[in-house]
Amino acid sequence: MDVQTLFEALIRENTGMLMAYIRAGIRDEHAADDVYQETVLAAWKRLDDYDTQKPLGPWLRGIASKVMLAHHRKSARLACPLDEGVIAWLNDRFAAIHNLQGDTFDEKIATLRECIDALPDTYKHPVRMRYTEQKALAEVQSTLDLAAETLRKRLTRAKLRLAECLERKLGIRKASA
């Protein structure tokens, strides 16, 4: 197997994790896709710098964090600035995910999906619409016919329930921002 084919296979294996990481810092779907492409291109160009004795995920996230910060510096219209502290927090969360059981990112976050499935419908539907389907708050609000404050409270309560569920199932401490 040549280097390019191996690289492409490893990127495919890490795409879910990398996109989740990027979308946590870049809300706009198209911008996140651009950051992903730039990250993969930068990783390919810097492949000689990669230490094959270490996991690929953290190395890719390191590259992605630099690309995300550059994106945020260039984009003056962003309402939610990204800084080194946010990147450090994201890296901590993804390092914890990396240490979970499972070979792939999907296997590692299966417990989160189970916890989402266990939510009451009043919480499950807004969570899925907002975070799985990436719908804007206004669209979720309109579709579910909820007041803005009601939706915010439901999402906050859902996040608390998810944190409790994950803590119970995985024995992890609640993350603090």
Give me the residue spans of the domains in the chain. Answer: 1-80, 109-177
Mean pLDDT over 41-50 rounds to 94
With a cut of 60, say whether residue 78 has pLDDT above it.
no
Pair 166, 172: CB distance under 8 Å = yes
Pair 165, 115: CB distance under 8 Å = yes
- The structure's pTM equals 0.62
Q: What share of the chain is helix, strand, coil (3-state, %, to 5)?
A: 75, 0, 25
Q: What are the pLDDT digits (tens) for 102-141?
A: 777 787 788 889 999 999 999 999 999 998 888 889 999 9
Contact residues for 132 (Cβ-Cβ < 8 A; gap 6+):
116
What CA–CA distances, in Å, run from 167 to 88, 125, 148, 161?
21, 22, 29, 10
Pair 83, 90: CB distance under 8 Å = no
Between 89 and 110, whose confidence is greater? 110
pLDDT-derived band at 177 (thresholds 50, 70, 90) equals very low
CATH topology of domain 1-80: Rna Polymerase Sigma Factor; Chain: A (1.10.1740)
* Range name among 7-21, 59-73, 95-109, 123-137 with the lowest pLDDT average: 95-109
Mean pLDDT over 64-92 rounds to 77
Q: What architecture (CATH level 2) is domain 109-177?
A: Orthogonal Bundle (1.10)
With a cut of 60, say whether residue 143 has pLDDT above it.
yes
Pair 68, 22: CB distance under 8 Å = yes
